[in-house]
Amino acid sequence: MNPKPATQVCVACSIFRNEIERLQAEAKLDLPVRFLGSMLHMVPEKLEKRLQEVVEEERAKGHEIVLAYGDCCPNMTGIGSAEGVDRTQGFNCPEILLGGETYRKMRREGVFFLLPEWTLMWRKVFQGTLGLQGGTAQDFMKEMHTRLVYLDTELEPVPEKELAEISEYCGLPVERMKVSLEPLLASLMKAATRVPHE
């Protein structure tokens, strides 16, 4: 399953915590994992600094690193291509969960993706971090998107109340899409296989 289980560690965004822990519980993923808070994405410079610190810590222990991240900070390409490091393929977490072809098709259709962790914190993300208030939120979202799609990996209850609130706030319909864990697993395993060994 894992090319070098004794020496590899996965550093992952907490947006994937439930999914990765399920893969571990089902013995499909044999990698220890360190999770970093998903809200670090809201300040890319902080995310980059923290990722660099964690990668250096793990490399100092003699570990190779699999990063479960998209292109989430300015130097992600550099961090993800360092010696002993590789990264899941995908521009962002929805693409990693869905696979490139499905993601690109839905993006062309104008979909805005919602993931469980951020759906529960939607006010903090939309209002606090993105600054989308009142009519501005609807104007912006309707200009850029046609609908909201909640990516449901079926590992926790669907937050129906929050989805209804987001739909009303953004002025867009919301849909639920059942998502398999296979694209995420495949991306993690490809990265584990590709890690450049010293």
What's the pLDDT tens digit per position in 22-58?
999 999 999 999 999 988 888 889 999 999 999 999 9
Q: What pLDDT, on a 0 to 100 scale, did the predictor assign at position 173?
A: 97
Q: What pLDDT, on a 0 to 100 scale, did the predictor assign at position 4?
A: 44
Does residue 189 lie in a domain region? yes
Q: What pLDDT, on a 0 to 100 scale, did the predictor assign at position 111?
A: 97
Judge if 83 and 104 occupy the same domain.
no
Q: What pLDDT, on a 0 to 100 scale, did the predictor assign at position 196?
A: 61
For strands 8-13 and 64-68, give the pairing. Answer: parallel
CA dist 46 and 78 (Å) reads 16
CA dist 120 and 49 (Å) reads 26
Q: What pLDDT, on a 0 to 100 scale, did the predictor assign at position 3?
A: 45
CA dist 53 and 48 (Å) reads 9
Q: Which domain holds residue 127?
A: 95-178
Q: What pLDDT, on a 0 to 100 scale, did the predictor assign at position 123?
A: 86
Pick the closest to residue 105 from 163, 137, 149 (CA basis). Answer: 149
Q: What pLDDT, on a 0 to 100 scale, did the predictor assign at position 127?
A: 77
CA dist 125 and 120 (Å) reads 10
Judge if 130 and 169 occupy the same domain.
yes
Flag residues of the chain having pLDDT under 70.
1-6, 128-131, 134, 196-198
Does residue 16 lie in a domain region? yes
Judge if 86 and 43 occupy the same domain.
yes
- pTM of the full predicted structure? 0.88
Instruction: Write the CA distances from 32 to 16, 62, 175, 188, integer angstroms.
Output: 14, 14, 34, 12
